[in-house]
Amino acid sequence: MPTEDVAEAPTSIDSLELPEINENQPIYECWDKAAKRMIASIWKHHQAWIFYEPVDPKKLNIPDYFDIIKQPMDFGTVKQKLNANQYLKFQDFLYDLNLVFENCLQYNGENSQVSTMCKGVREEFNKLYYHLGMDFYL
């Protein structure tokens, strides 16, 4: 036989106070851990080193780089933005990652040695994307 204090004053759902949630607050708990795992894994790819830092046109003797590439992006910047919670949506993170690959192919052409490396890293990215189930966040 139950005691009185067990169900002394049951609470109805209507009387519960809901926590205040900011509609515009990013929900990093959902996708950021998988995104961080993804960028960490891509970073370790043996050909990813070419994307660690922003392209330096002077150092690489490619003065027309910024004439052709209007939105430069690199893995280091993606990693930094991810760690600083600057991505509001998973799609923004994906956009920047894909921008790294698109910029490389656009500037170097489809058949260059650098583009071959880029395609290898992109293939690894695609494998990780599906392995980690990242399409869930779209």
Q: Which domains does the chain have, with CATH numbers?
A: 51-138 (1.20.920.10)
Q: Tell me what pLDDT residue 125 has.
A: 92
- The reported pTM is 0.76
Return d(Cα 3, Cα 52) in angstroms, integer: 65
Q: Tell me what pLDDT residue 59 has.
A: 97
Q: Tell me what pLDDT residue 106 has.
A: 98
Q: Tell me what pLDDT residue 87 has.
A: 93
Return d(Cα 1, Cα 66) in angstroms, integer: 79
Q: Chunked in runs of 10, what are the mean pLDDT values of the chain (138 residues)?
A: 48 49 52 88 95 97 98 98 92 95 97 96 92 74
Distances in whole angstroms, Cα of residue 117 to Cα of each of 27, 38, 46, 49, 51: 34, 18, 9, 10, 10
Residue 89: count other Cβ atoms within 10 Å of its Cβ.
Answer: 13
